[in-house]
Amino acid sequence: MGTWIAIYALCHFDDSSVCQEQEFLYGNCSQSQCTNWTLAKGCKKEALLSKTAKIKEGGARSINDILGWDYVIKVDSTCYSFYAAQPPAVGMTEPVEIACPLGVREIISYAIDAEQAIEDSEKPYLIDIFK
């Protein structure tokens, strides 16, 4: 039984999409078309549709008060839901196939992260927005 080695390169774009270099050069793949590429499975279009924090009772005063996140993702045309713990805790539930929510666009990036959102929620002029 022999072994083999495959060498390939990936093009990573500013919008976090990726293409196998050869496919990109041949014009078969372009920016925003592929978010995950593996030698075994080729191109997969993955999209984050929802990310909801699970917070300790009493609210979040720091990032340490976030227990984990409920995710809804779309891989090609199938949607999945799962929970992932907030580090330093580890673990996640097995992704479960769900009906894709209607009218929800994929989340490309965030204007602020969770830490900044918690910090902003303490500002007096924003209290009504977060309560």
32 & 81 share domain: no
pLDDT band, residue 99 (cuts 50/70/90): very high
Domain encompassing residue 10: 1-44
3-state secondary structure of 91: coil
Q: Total structural domains in the chain?
A: 2
Q: Measured between alpha carbons, how far is 39 from 24 in angstroms, rounded to an integer?
A: 15
- Say whether both 57 and 117 belong to one domain: yes
Regarding beta strands 18-20 and 78-85, do their DSSP bridges make them parallel or antiparallel, or are they unpaired? unpaired
Report how far apart, in Å, the C-alpha atoms of 38 and of each of 14, 18, 34, 74, 106 are.
19, 10, 11, 17, 21
- Tell me, what's the pLDDT at 116? 81
As a whole-number percent, the residues of the chain with pLDDT over 90 amount to 10
Statement to judge: residues 90 and 122 lie in one domain: yes
- CA–CA dist 37, 20 (Å, integer): 7
